[in-house]
Amino acid sequence: MSIQPAYPGGPAEPYLVSIGNIHATAHHIVTPAGTWPIADINVATTDQTQTYTKTATWAIVLAIVLVWFFLLSLLFLLVRETRIQGYIAVSVTTRWGQSYVEQVPVASGPARAEVFGRTTYLQSLIGQERGRLGR
């Protein structure tokens, strides 16, 4: 069994970056909606995450247990936990009007930064290819 080329007629290239179901080589982008030359696309992100804070459960328990012994234990109620949840929408649009949108789930700050970092790298690949082709 042989590996099929990423783009008909072109050589099989390794994926340099993947964002969900969006994969990019040096010259093409591969999505479930199709394969396009990387110089002919635009990539945009929409942050749909929510950040919320709440009092930590362990702090509530400690405040209730220790309030009978030490009144300053109520300061435990000032402890807050920050949580991030939601999606980052990564949209790929071709100059011919075709598009594909990938909803990437995000559950933490570092995961959110990683999706934006991968998107930035993909945009730099697009810029390099456009520069190589003189567009």
- Return all residues near 108 (Cβ < 8 A) that are at least 6 apart: 84
pLDDT, tens digit, 9 for 90 and up, residues 37-78: 999 999 999 999 999 899 888 888 888 888 877 777 888 788
Asked if residues 119 and 110 have their Cβ atoms less than 8 Å apart, the reply is no
Predicted TM-score (pTM) of this structure: 0.76
Asked if residues 34 and 98 have their Cβ atoms less than 8 Å apart, the reply is yes
- pLDDT given for residue 65 in this prediction: 86
Q: Delimit the domains of the chain by residue range.
A: 21-133
